Amino acid sequence: MPVTIEIPTAFRRFTEGAPKVDCSAATIADALNELTSRYPDLSRHVRDDQGQIRQFLNVYLMKKISDSSAANPAP
């Protein structure tokens, strides 16, 4: 499914200044994986040392906020 990820101003230095990044993903985790593989320097700002979404990161899905647990599936 086509997905547009809006990049906060503070993170745009890691996306070559892009305010939005288009990708194709079925889940939030897939979208973030594609984003961080395309822009590896962004990864450490999005994920912690265990690969989980950082707690301060807000994820919006279809205008509703989703906490990081939506992108961090239980093991």
State the 10-residue block means of pLDDT for the chain, 75 residues long. 90 96 90 94 92 84 55 54
Contacts of 66 (CB under 8 A, 6+ apart): 28, 59, 60
Q: What is the pLDDT of residue 55?
A: 86
Q: What is the pLDDT of residue 3?
A: 87
Go through the domains of the chain in sequence order and give each one's CATH number: 2-64 (3.10.20.30)
Strand duo 2-6 + 20-24: pairing: antiparallel
The reported pTM is: 0.74
The phi, psi pair for 72, rounded to 5°, reads -120, 80
Give which of 75, 74, 71 is closest to 30, Cα–Cα: 71
